[in-house]
Chains A and B, each alone.
Chain A
Amino acid sequence: MSDHLFVGKSIPRTIEADKVTGKAVYIDDMKRPGMLYGKILYSRYAHARIKSIDTSRAKKLAGVRAVLTGRDIPDARVGFLKDQTVLKKDVVRQFRDEVAAVAAISPEIAAEAVDLIEVEYEELPAVFDPFEAMKEEAPLVHEVDARGRPVKSNMLPLPWKFEAGDIEQGRKDSAFVVTDNVSTTWVNQCCMGTSGCIAEFDTSNNLTLYNQTNVIFGHIGRITEYFSQIGLKGKKIRVVNAIVGGSFGTKLDTDIYEFISIQLALKTRKPVKILFDREEEFQALPPRQPAVFTIEQGCDRDGRLTFRKCEAILDNGAYTSWGATTPSVMIMPMSSLYRVPNVFFKATCVYTNNIYCQAMRGYGNPQATFAVETSMDTLAEAAGIDPLEFRMINRNHPGDETPMRLKITSCGFEECINAVKEKLKWDEKKGKQKGRGLGMASLIHVAGGARVTRSDGHGMVVKVDEYGHVDVIESGTDQGQGSPTVITQIVAEALGVRPEDVFLTFGDTALALWDAGTHASRHTFMAGNAAVRACAKAKKQILDMAVEHMAKIIKGGFKRKKRKDPDFVEPDLDYGLIADPENLDIRDRMVFPKKDPDHPYFRIPVSQVLREGLLGSGESKVVVAEAFYDPPTEMLDREFKGNLSQTYAFGASGVEVEVDEKTGEVKILNLVAAHDVGKAMNPTLLLGQIYGAAYTGVGYGLTEEIKVVNGRVMNPSFRDYQMLTAMDVVPIEPVIVEPMDEDGPYGAKGVGEPGLVPTAPAIANAVYDAIGVRITDLPITPEKVLAALKEKG
C-alpha cells in the first residue's frame, strides 16, 4: 500500500487554481442573457393576518418586470412537512415569511420596488418559547395541517422516539445516577458566499436552475413535486452548480427563494437571479436547530454505563425544514457514543413563531453530543472516576454492534483518547491548576455514507480521450472541502495517470449519474469508492486496447527504425508478455507488463495505446466507464435502528482553557483534535477540515448565537454576530489516527463534520475544571461565566 504515487500525499490544490486568481465563477458572478434580479418582501410581524397587499406603486416603477404575491401564483405547498406555501397569502407566521417578490432589471430597482409594496396586517397573538407553545392555551402557529385538517397542538407529528434495552433495569444496575439540563441555541452557518440562484426556462418550459446546492438531485425531486402542483408536470429540470462559496448544511433543502426565482422566471420568461445580502442571510436563512435536553445517565461501581435517558425539546420555528429531522441524527450519539446497554431518547419538535431551522455541519450531532458529554463529566465526578478514564472504560470497540444496530468496524477511539491524555498532559494537569482547566469530549459520526434516502448511491463517469486526458463527471458538489484534489488523486492512482491529466466536472444533473448528496461527511468515501470502481473498468478497457495494439505499435516502431537504419536488427521479443490484459498494468501514464515493468520495449505511453485504439487500424473504440457505488447499508427501521453507514468516525477533543474570573473571558490555550480518519488521503487538506471544523466548534462553544427576540433576529450582521476572526488565536494540535478502513477507498473514512462535534462540550468541561461551575447553555459567554461564578459565591 505504501507505494502509492498520489494517494496519501499532500498534493497541492492546483486543480482549484481558479480560486486564487479570481477566475472561479460563483453564483454572484454568474449572469445570463436578459437576466433579471429578484427581491423578496418579508413580513413585518411574527404572526399576523394579511389584510391587503397593494403592489400598484411597485408595478409602475420603471424597470420592474414582475411583482408577485401569494394571490398570483398557485397555492402549492412545499417543505419537509408541506407546511408552507411559496408566497404567503393569508397569514404570516414568522418575520422571514415571504409576502411578495419583484423581478427588475437591476438589483437596486428590485429593492426600491419591494419598498413600494404596501401590506396591511392584523397582528395575531404569537408564541416564541417552545415550552409555552406546548401548553394547551398557547396560540396555534398553524390552524390546519398540510391536508387542511384542523390541528390541536403546536407539537409536530414527528415520531422521534428511540428505545433499546430496559431503562428501569439500567437504573437498578446503577451505583451512580446523574441528571443534567443542557441547551444549545441558533447559530448561523455563515457561508461567506450568500444564498442565491438563477432560474431560467427554455421555450418549452424546461427549467435550468443555476445553483450552489450540495444535493443536486434532491433539488430535482423537490422541484419535480412542485412542478406537478403548478401545471408543469413532466418538464425537465436541470440543476447546474456554480462554484460554491461555502455550504455547511445551508444548501441541503430547496429554500423558498429558489421557488420564488422559479415563479418570477416563469412569469417574466427571463432568467431571474435572487442573491441574498448578508442581512437577509442572517434573517431569512434557516440556521442550526436549537435544542433543550434533559439527560439522565447511570453507571455501576466500575464506571460502566448502565443507561442513558434523554428528552429533547426542539424549537421548530414556524415551518419545517431539515432542522426538525436532526433528532434522527441525535439518536446516533445518544445510543452509540460509548457502550451503553439501555437507551431511551425522545425529541419533540414544537412550532413557534420563531425562525425555522435546517442543517448545519454535524446535523444534530453537536447538539446531542453536548448533552451526552456534559452528562459524562458529571457522572464521572459522581462516581469518583477521572473523566478521561471514565470515557476510556466506556469507549466503543471495533466489532461492536450498538443499541442502534450500528456495526462498528474500524475504530481508532482508544488511540484518540490516549492522544488527548498525552498531548494535554492530562494526568499532570487535570484538576490541579487554579483558573485553568482541562476538559475533553468524544464523537461518533457516520463516515461511510448515511442511508437517509432509499439509495445512498454515488454515480461517477470516467472517460479517457486519445491524449490520455481523463474527464470525470462528478455527481457531488465541491463546497470547499477539497474533493476536486482528493478525487483527482484517487483517479490518477487508480487509472495510472497523473493528477494534471484529470479534469473534473462537478454538479450538473444533466451529465452526472445520481448521487445522494455531498452531505453526512460522505463524499470522499462514496465518490472515492465510485472512482475506484469506475477507474478499474476504464483501466480494463485500456488494457484490452493495449493487448490489441501494443505489439503492433512496437513492431511499427521497429519498422520505422529499420527504414532509417538498415543495420537495425529487430530484437526477438516474447510478445506473450503483453498478450493478456491481466498481465499488464498502467502507472504514471505508462503501460507495461507487470512482470517486467521496466521492459526496454514493452513500456509505452498510455496515450499511444489510446490513439491507436481510436484512430488506428482495427475497430475504433473510446474509453468510458461508469460506476454506481451504493454500499450494503440499511435504512433505519421504524424504531430508528439499522446500520445506516458503512463505517463510522471516532474522535476526541481535549481542551485546556484559562478563565479570567474578573471578566468571565474563556481563553483556549490548547485544543487537541484527535481523529480516526481511516486513512489520510491528503494530509494537508485533511488538516484543513479539522482546523476549520474545530474553529466553528469553538465559535459554537464560546461566541456564536443568533439573538432572537420575539421572533426577530436582533444581530443580522457580522459586526453583531460573533464569528471568530484571525485574531481569535486557537492553538490546535491535530492528531491523525489511521486504522485503515477496509471498506473505504484506499482505507479512508469521512471527516468533514467530525471536528466540530466534540469541541464545544470539551470546552464546557474544561471551564468546569477551571472554575468549578458548569455552564450548560451554549455559547459560554463571559456574562454566563460571571453569573455562574456569582451564584457559586
Chain B
Amino acid sequence: MKKVSVSFTLNGYPVTAEVPVTWSLLKTLREDFELTGAKEGCGVGECGACTVIVDGDAVNSCLYPVFEAEGKSVMTIEGIAGEDGTLHPIQTAFLENNGVQCGYCTSGMIMSAKALLDQNPDPAENDIRTNIAGNFCRCTGYVQIVEAIEMAARKME
C-alpha cells in the first residue's frame, strides 16, 4: 500500500510517521507510536473516545486523515501530565470526583475538556455539556464528569 511520510509535533516532540496513506491519525497514534490512550469506540466519528487535540482543537482522530497532521501540533492523553509525571488538574479531578468508571471514554473526555478549558477557563455547565456532547459515556451518566471538569476549572484558575 502507498505510504506517506508525515511530520508533526507529538506531545511536544517532533516526529515523523511513514504509514499507509489511508491511515487515520488514531490508527497512526495507536499502531505506529504505540500511544493507545485514545480509543476506537466507533471508528466513524460518533463517540469521541478517540479525541485528541490538534493545534488547540479537540478532534475525532478516527476521522482525521494522518496526512492532515503535517506540520501541526498533536497532543494526546499521554502528553498532558507534567514531565515529572504530575497529573494535569483535569486528570486529578476525574480521579477525585469519580469522573472515571470503566475508563474507556476517559482519554477522549479529558482531551475534550482540556481543549475547552484552554480556550475558556471559566465555562458554564452548559458550555461543558456542549463541549462533551460528542463524547459518549455509558458508565457515569455524565454527572460526575461535568462536576470534575468544573472542579478542574477552579483548580486551574
Alpha-carbon gap, A24 to B104, bound state (A):
9
A479 to chain B: which residues have CB within 8 Å? Answer: 102
Q: Are A692 and B139 in contact (CB under 8 A)?
A: yes
A482 to chain B: which residues have CB within 8 Å? Answer: 98, 101
Q: Are B47 and A718 in contact (CB under 8 A)?
A: yes
Report the minimum CB–CB distance from A567 to chain B (whole Å). Answer: 46
Q: Are A684 and B141 in contact (CB under 8 A)?
A: no
- Given A26-B39, A245-B102, A726-B135, also A692-B140 (CB < 8 A): yes
B132 to chain A: which residues have CB within 8 Å? Answer: 726
Q: Mark B96-126, 1 if CB is under 8 A from A, else 0.
A: 1110111111110010000000000000000
Main secondary structure on A side of the interface with B: loop
A692 to chain B: which residues have CB within 8 Å? Answer: 101, 138-141
A19 to chain B: which residues have CB within 8 Å? Answer: 100, 102-103, 106
Interface locus among B2-10, B30-38, B66-74: B30-38
B43 proximal to A (CB < 8 A): yes
Question: Which of A245, A481, A726, A727 is within 8 Å of B104, CB to CB?
Answer: A245
Name the CB-closest residue of A to B97.
A684
B interface list, Cβ under 8 A from A? 30, 35-44, 46-47, 49, 76-78, 81, 87, 91, 94-98, 100-107, 110, 128-130, 132-146
Alpha-carbon gap, A28 to B37, bound state (A):
10
- Given A692-B140, A726-B146, A732-B143, also A192-B104 (CB < 8 A): yes
- Given A480-B139, A688-B140, A691-B143, also A726-B133 (CB < 8 A): yes
Question: Which of A21, A28, A723 is within 8 Å of B81, CB to CB?
Answer: A21
B128 to chain A: which residues have CB within 8 Å? Answer: 726
Chain A 274-324 residues near chain B, CB threshold 8 A: 277-278
B44 to chain A: which residues have CB within 8 Å? Answer: 278, 717
- Given A19-B100, A21-B87, also A12-B95 (CB < 8 A): yes
Total inter-chain residue pairs, C-beta < 8 Å: 164
A580 proximal to B (CB < 8 A): no
A12 to chain B: which residues have CB within 8 Å? Answer: 95-96
Question: Which of A246, A695, A725, A727 is within 8 Å of B102, CB to CB?
Answer: A246
19 A-B pairs within 8 Å (CB atoms) are namely A12-B95, A13-B100, A17-B95, A19-B100, A21-B87, A22-B36, A191-B138, A245-B39, A245-B102, A245-B104, A480-B139, A684-B98, A687-B143, A691-B142, A692-B141, A717-B44, A723-B138, A725-B133, A727-B129
Q: Are B97 and A22 in contact (CB under 8 A)?
A: no
Q: Mark A705-727, 1 if CB is under 8 A from B, else 0.
A: 00000000000011100011111
A193 to chain B: which residues have CB within 8 Å? Answer: 39, 41, 102, 104
Q: Are A22 and B98 in contact (CB under 8 A)?
A: no
Alpha-carbon gap, A627 to B135, bound state (A):
41
Q: Are A16 and B140 in contact (CB under 8 A)?
A: no
Name the CB-closest residue of A to B35.
A22
Report the minimum CB–CB distance from B144 to chain A (whole Å). Answer: 6
Q: Mark A674-697, 1 if CB is under 8 A from B, else 0.
A: 000000000011011001111110
B139 to chain A: which residues have CB within 8 Å? Answer: 192, 246, 480, 688, 692
Report the minimum CB–CB distance from A340 to chain B (whole Å). Answer: 32
Alpha-carbon gap, A467 to B145, bound state (A):
36
A729 to chain B: which residues have CB within 8 Å? Answer: 129
Report the minimum CB–CB distance from A108 to chain B (whole Å). Answer: 9
Question: Which of A248, A719, A730 is within 8 Å of B141, CB to CB?
Answer: A730
A interface list, Cβ under 8 A from B? 12-14, 16-17, 19-26, 28-29, 189-194, 243-248, 277-278, 479-482, 684-685, 687-688, 691-696, 717-719, 723-727, 729-730, 732
Q: Are A688 and B138 in contact (CB under 8 A)?
A: no
Main secondary structure on B side of the interface with A: loop
Known: A12-B95, A16-B100. 7 other contacts (CB 8 A): A22-B77, A29-B30, A247-B102, A692-B140, A695-B142, A725-B133, A725-B142
Alpha-carbon gap, A243 to B104, bound state (A):
9
Q: Are A480 and B129 in contact (CB under 8 A)?
A: no
A191 to chain B: which residues have CB within 8 Å? Answer: 102, 104, 138
Report the minimum CB–CB distance from B61 to chain A (whole Å). Answer: 13
A695 to chain B: which residues have CB within 8 Å? Answer: 140-142
- Given A278-B43, A718-B46, also A723-B98 (CB < 8 A): no
A245 to chain B: which residues have CB within 8 Å? Answer: 39, 102-104
Question: Which of A16, A278, A688, A694 is within 8 Å of B42, CB to CB?
Answer: A278
Alpha-carbon gap, A22 to B75, bound state (A):
12
A20 to chain B: which residues have CB within 8 Å? Answer: 77, 87, 91, 94-95, 100, 103, 106-107, 110
Name the CB-closest residue of B to A694.
B141
Q: Are B49 and A13 in contact (CB under 8 A)?
A: no
Q: Are B41 and A192 in contact (CB under 8 A)?
A: yes
Alpha-carbon gap, A602 to B142, bound state (A):
50
Question: Which of B95, B103, B135 is within 8 Å of A243, CB to CB?
Answer: B103
Name the CB-closest residue of A to B1.
A108
Name the CB-closest residue of B to A13.
B95
Q: Are A22 and B38 in contact (CB under 8 A)?
A: yes
Can you list the 10 inter-chain pairs with the closest CB atoms, starting with the nearest?
A22-B37, A480-B102, A19-B103, A695-B141, A245-B104, A480-B101, A691-B141, A22-B77, A29-B36, A192-B104
Q: Are A696 and B138 in contact (CB under 8 A)?
A: yes
Q: Are A21 and B78 in contact (CB under 8 A)?
A: yes
Report the minimum CB–CB distance from A85 to chain B (whole Å). Answer: 30
- Given A688-B140, A732-B143, also A481-B37 (CB < 8 A): no
Report the minimum CB–CB distance from B82 to chain A (whole Å). Answer: 11
Q: Are A278 and B41 in contact (CB under 8 A)?
A: yes
Report the minimum CB–CB distance from A14 to chain B (whole Å). Answer: 6
Q: Are B145 and A726 in contact (CB under 8 A)?
A: yes
Question: Which of B30, B39, B129, B136 is within 8 Å of A718, CB to CB?
Answer: B136
Q: Are A688 and B35 in contact (CB under 8 A)?
A: no
Alpha-carbon gap, A688 to B97, bound state (A):
9
Alpha-carbon gap, A244 to B139, bound state (A):
12
Name the CB-closest residue of A to B38.
A22
Name the CB-closest residue of B to A723.
B136
Name the CB-closest residue of B to A728.
B142
- Given A246-B102, A717-B42, also A691-B144 (CB < 8 A): yes
Alpha-carbon gap, A730 to B142, bound state (A):
10
Report the minimum CB–CB distance from A773 to chain B (whole Å). Answer: 28
Alpha-carbon gap, A194 to B42, bound state (A):
9
B105 to chain A: which residues have CB within 8 Å? Answer: 192
Question: Which of A21, A24, A717 is within 8 Å of B46, CB to CB?
Answer: A717
B38 to chain A: which residues have CB within 8 Å? Answer: 22
A28 to chain B: which residues have CB within 8 Å? Answer: 36, 39-40
Report the minimum CB–CB distance from B17 to chain A (whole Å). Answer: 17
Q: Are B136 and A725 in contact (CB under 8 A)?
A: yes
Alpha-carbon gap, A135 to B147, bound state (A):
54
Alpha-carbon gap, A24 to B102, bound state (A):
10
Q: Are B46 and A719 in contact (CB under 8 A)?
A: yes
Most buried by A among B42, B110, B139: B139
A26 to chain B: which residues have CB within 8 Å? Answer: 36, 39, 104
B106 to chain A: which residues have CB within 8 Å? Answer: 19-20
Alpha-carbon gap, A693 to B136, bound state (A):
15
B42 to chain A: which residues have CB within 8 Å? Answer: 277-278, 717-718
Alpha-carbon gap, A20 to B36, bound state (A):
12
Q: Are A691 and B46 in contact (CB under 8 A)?
A: no
- Given A16-B103, A244-B102, also A691-B140 (CB < 8 A): yes
Alpha-carbon gap, A481 to B143, bound state (A):
15
Alpha-carbon gap, A288 to B74, bound state (A):
40
Name the CB-closest residue of A to B108.
A192
Name the CB-closest residue of A to B46.
A718
Alpha-carbon gap, A16 to B101, bound state (A):
9
Alpha-carbon gap, A147 to B130, bound state (A):
56
B100 to chain A: which residues have CB within 8 Å? Answer: 13, 16, 19-20
B135 to chain A: which residues have CB within 8 Å? Answer: 726
Report the minimum CB–CB distance from A46 to chain B (whole Å). Answer: 25
Alpha-carbon gap, A247 to B103, bound state (A):
12
Report the minimum CB–CB distance from B71 to chain A (whole Å). Answer: 24
